[in-house]
Amino acid sequence: MTTTILEITSSARGAESKSTLLANELVQRLRERHPGALVRTRDVAQRPVRMLDGEALRALGTPPNERSSEQLALVRGFDELVDELKGAEIVVFAVPMYNFAMPIQLKAYFDAVARNGATFRYTASGPEGLLKGKKVYVVFGRGGLYRGTPLDVQTPHLQTLLSFLGMTDVEYIFAEGLDMGPEAQQAGLGSARRAIAELTVGN
């Protein structure tokens, strides 16, 4: 069976992004561990996901046979994201920090894929995530040093979102201090690369 790896990047810096650079390196290592793996990439900064606004909610809430052509196209775009995520055995997120949070484009992605009945469901005992059995890696790129401090609201937020969708086998990789001078940047990148090397042994 072919392993599918889905890489989701979200930095406005494009090719200059350190989170994307490290996520690419991680994916390359994963490809070495899974020969023949199919790699799918989605850059939500370059190809933004439709915001979950009133129009989108109305389209999702309208029965399929009653949707207009515009609503059908809108929902089809959301369905593509869900199907892509469902079809991946390994998911890699590249996440820069903007004002202590994930980029708004990545938040829009999570808003689009968190679908009742598709990626989670409500039960008598509460919500149940349906995207179980996936291996997930989150690569953070940060200008300062936030890990383990009250200012790191990114990690618990992402942990909550992923767990809500059923993705609980998650590894977090931190590249911090990237804007604190050349030495700090090299130290941050080096630390992240060592973590990537350790996490991909045997995976």
Read off the pLDDT of each residue in 82-109 and give the average, rounded to a whole number.
97
Name the pairing type of β-strands 38-43 and 120-123.
Answer: unpaired
6 CB-near residues (< 8 Å, 6+ apart): 40, 41, 42, 84, 85, 87, 88, 90, 91, 92
Confidence (pLDDT) at 15: 81
Please state, in angstroms and as integers, the Cα–Cα distance from residue 18 to each residue in 2, 25, 59, 177, 189, following that order: 29, 11, 37, 11, 8
Q: What is the pLDDT of residue 203?
A: 52
Indicate if the pLDDT at residue 201 is higher than 90.
no
Find the mean pLDDT for residues 171-193.
96
Q: Which is nearest to 93 in space by CA: 176, 184, 159? A: 159
Question: What is the arithmetic mean of pLDDT over 67-79?
Answer: 95
- Dihedral angle of Cα 146, 152, 154, 157, to the nearest 10 degrees: 160
Q: pLDDT, tens digit, for every residue of 28-46? A: 999 999 999 999 999 999 9
Question: What is the rounded average pLDDT of the residues 57-61?
Answer: 94
Which comes out higher in pLDDT, residue 1 or 58?
58
pLDDT in tens, 112-155: 999 999 999 999 999 999 999 999 999 999 999 999 999 999 99
Global confidence as pTM: 0.94
Measuring CA to CA, which residue among 57, 44, 58 is closest to residue 96?
44
User: What pLDDT was estimated at residue 202?
Assistant: 59
Residue-range domains of the chain with CATH = 4-51+84-199 (3.40.50.360)
CB under 8 A, 24+ apart: contacts of 196-200 = 196/22, 196/25, 196/26, 196/29, 196/139, 197/29, 199/137, 199/171, 199/173, 200/26, 200/29, 200/30, 200/33
Phi, psi of 183 (to 5 degrees): -65, -45
Q: Quick one: which H or E segment has residue 90?
A: strand 90-96
**Mean of pLDDT values over 82-96:** 97
